Amino acid sequence: MLHALLVFLGGGLGATGRYLVGIAALRQFGPGFPYGTMIVNIVGSLVMGLLIGWLVRKGGSQEVRLFFATGLLGGFTTYSAFSLDIANLWERGAFAHALSYTMGTLVACVAAVFVGLWLVRTLSA
């Protein structure tokens, strides 16, 4: 039961963070492109790489992993919103935006995980 509670609490905090970033991005950049979701997915992927790299190196507990990786980051990053954003862009006829958003997010998120892992490995050596 403790594990479910940790995921629940982390997930609530992560989802709240995602919401706040989305609102800030909407105010900053406007509604023409889903910057909020893109920012959340890139930042979340970077933090996931850092966290998992650190947990593997330092032997973090299952409770820490559940709260931060499964809960907090799971609630913060969301590819379901990513998929919906692509569908919305596509249905509006913004095909170039849909393609650039898809490719930019995927490439940057994978790269961010590798950067996070590299940073932990390099700085911990």
Q: What is the pLDDT of residue 25?
A: 98
Alpha-carbon separation of residue 64 from 2, 7, 117 (angstroms): 12, 10, 18
Q: What is the pLDDT of residue 79?
A: 83
Phi–psi pair at 35, nearest 5 degrees: -60, -40
Q: What is the pLDDT of residue 102?
A: 96
Neighbouring CB atoms inside 10 A of 117's CB total 19
Q: What is the pLDDT of residue 124?
A: 85
Q: What is the pLDDT of residue 81?
A: 85
Angle at 43 between CA 50 and CA 32, to 5 degrees: 170
Q: What is the pLDDT of residue 78?
A: 77
CA distance 60 to 56: 7
Cβ pair 39, 78 in contact under 8 A: no
pTM for this one? 0.81
Per-residue pLDDT in tens (0 to 9) along the chain, 125 residues: 999 999 999 999 999 999 999 999 999 999 999 999 999 999 999 999 999 999 999 988 999 999 999 999 999 997 888 998 999 999 999 999 999 999 999 999 999 999 999 999 999 87
